Structures are given as C-alpha cells and as structure tokens.
A and B are shown apart, each in its own frame.
Chain A
C-alpha cells in the first residue's frame, strides 16, 4: 500500500479535529416515529420502564437496612448512617500510609494503611487494653519483648473499641489534636464523645464501609 503524502495526511487530521470539535456534528434529526410513538412503542417503553424499576429495587435491597458505619479515609471522617441519613458525623484519624521495614527482612514491610472495603463489627470492647504489636517497638527502635506481658499498655485506646478484623479497631485516642489527620497505623481513632455514640449505635455485625 502506498504511503499517503504528508499534505493529504494533514488534511485528514485537520478534518478529523474539526469534525470532533463542531457541536452539531453529533446531532441526529428526529424521525417521525420518535415524534409519534405507536402503540407498540408505548408497550416497549412500558416494559423497559418496568425492567428499570425492578432492577432499581433489586439494587436498593443490597443497601444495609440497619445503621452502618462509613469511613472516608481521604477526609478523615467517620459517619454512622441510616440509609442516606447521617446519624453521626465524627472527625477521625486514619492510616498514615507510612511504611516500616521489618527487621531482618528488607523485602518485607509494614504499610500503615487503613484497609479499604466492607467489614463488619466483630467485637465490642469496653476499657480495651492495647497489646502492642511488633511494629510498635520496631518503629521506636526498641527490641521486641519476649514476654507478652511487656506488650500490654492500658488507657491509650479510650473507653471503647470496635474490632473489625485483622487487629484493626475503631478506638479512642490521647492525641485528639491529631484528629482529622492521617496519622494512625491503620486503626480508626475518634474522640471520647463520638466513640461512645458510635459504640452505643453499633452492634456486632454492623457493616463498616471504608473508602
């Protein structure tokens, strides 16, 4: 196949650009049928409407019918919602996104992200104690203790905690000035008042949606 001369290619290019920019280039004239729908068209439209409404209803059935927790990690907000109604709007702290190398293994790291997706409240605790994981010692440059009792720290998670799996909790904080910022190791921190309200509203099984 012979190659097109440059000037001809340029004309095609310009023509294509003009055609794609002109607002009227997409308009299709209405046909008489679209102006005067026949009885058959009406039946067809009704059946399409019925299908659309059925599908809409089916989709709405996936929505939680009980209150659910919604966490916006970008803006550090936690909401308790009932359908689309906001029941609680709380400033939170979520994962910092910082990484920490695991000692002795340069290829393995901890990533301090709050997990995204859908979870369920798996446990409700009062006066929780913090059993410090390895990273809490490593990031401070300390040796990881062998005795489990040396990992226990009291009074740092507030009065309540809601566990949602893999060691992640919604809990309180001593560092309330950091609320609204991405500073945690993946857990979700709230102030005491909001934490109590969320604790009272949530049940084991309450959905937690995190994005």
Chain B
C-alpha cells in the first residue's frame, strides 16, 4: 500500500499538466520584475503573430539569438556575436520589414543551352540594412573574427556614415537622427542565412535586456 502511495506521488510529478508548463524564455530570471515585464511584453506581441499562418523573427538581445519562428515554434536560430542599439527604449511592438537587400537572380535564356546556376546561400549578402515600419533600421554586419578585412571595411563605412550624420547635424543645426537603430554582428554564414529567410512584410519582435 505504501509503495503504491509513493508511486502515485512520484507519478504526480510527471502528469501532463506539469509537462504543459512550457516556458517561452528558459533563460529568464523569475525574480526579476523588469525582465518578467519585458518577457511578457514580447509574448503578447508573439501571440498576435503566432495566431496567423506566417513566419516571423524574434530578435532576442538577452540571449543574443535571432529566432525564426512560426506558431510559436522555433524553426531556426542564428547566434548574435555582438549588438548595439540606439533608441533601444522605443523598440517595442511589431516591426514590418519594408526593405531588404536585393538579390541578383539568374535568368533562363531558352534559346541558349547553357544551364543557369541556381541561387544559393553563397549568393546572399553578408553586410546589409533592413528597414521597417514603424521606423527602425537593422544593420546586419559581419562579426570581427570572421573576416577581418570585411569587418574593417564594414566598420569604416559605418564610422564614416556616423561622422557624416554628426557633421550634417552640426552644420545644419538640426539634431542628429534618433530613429531606432539596431546593429547585429553575426558570422558571414549566418548573415547570409538570415538574408535568405527574410520575406517582404515579415514581422519582427525585439526582446530587450532590462539591466540598464
């Protein structure tokens, strides 16, 4: 009898109701009110996206991961090597992708017998900007360790652009642009993989760290 009671007690821990307690963010500290609030905000946005038959992207700055998802399921994830943000406080809500890098597609020329090479991940860009509505720009840049030369060129371009913006702002007495901006450094392969997975109008949600 007592053995049965012990077994029943142990079985109660494996009941379906406990198994159904799926946590969306296993990394989350459950004693951190601001982290809980941010996670819940992201989940509220995700619920709207998961209710529809679509693929969406969750940029998780806390775990440094880009998650390609649908119906709440993670299809693929891309590690972020480093990131920086401007107007991070305003990065709430759902962002719709309105501009992404163009891809050069090859064309079949029926009279010619030459077979065209299909498009592949290698055809995707490694350094590109994504534009969203509401106003947000995400720069995807190659990580420093991946290809130093590429990184130097890419960083140089960004520094030049920032200096130009500052210079313009000073010369014209206009305040420098404060639009939401996110820069994600990922490996070249991952940048190409992300570029491949993007479709026009795709929705993005951003989970922000709360330690500042």
Contacts and interface: CB of A to CB of B under 8 A. Distances in A.
Nearest to B23: A56
Given A98-B105, A99-B108, A74 B196 contact: yes
Contacts of B50: 59, 62
A51 B40 contact: yes
A51 to B, nearest CB: 5
Interface stretch (A111-119, A122-130, A147-155, A169-177): A111-119
A96 B105 CA distance: 9
Contact of A60 (B31, B72, B107): B72
Contacts of B7: none
Nearest to A109: B107
Contacts of A134: none
Interface stretch (B114-122, B126-134, B137-145): B114-122
B72 A63 contact: yes
B4 interface: no
A118 B118 contact: no
Contacts of B55: 116-118, 209, 211
A49 B30 contact: yes
B73 A63 contact: yes
Contacts of A28: 212
B21 interface: yes
Interface stretch (B41-49, B93-101, B146-154, B179-187): B41-49
B177 to A, nearest CB: 15
Contacts of B108: 98-100, 139
B73 A209 contact: yes
Nearest to A110: B108
Contact of A59 (B46, B120, B166): B46
A103 B116 CA distance: 18
B164 interface: no
A132 interface: no
A53 B21 contact: yes
Given A55-B40, A55-B43, A59-B46, A72 B76 contact: yes
B94 to A, nearest CB: 15
Interface in A88-115: 96-101, 111
B111 A141 contact: yes
Contacts of B68: 211
9 closest A-B pairs by CB = A97-B119, A118-B53, A96-B118, A55-B43, A48-B36, A141-B110, A60-B22, A62-B50, A56-B24
Interface of A: 1, 3-4, 9, 13, 26, 28, 41, 44-45, 48-49, 51-53, 55-60, 62-64, 70, 72-75, 84, 96-101, 111, 116-119, 138-141, 181-183, 207, 209, 211
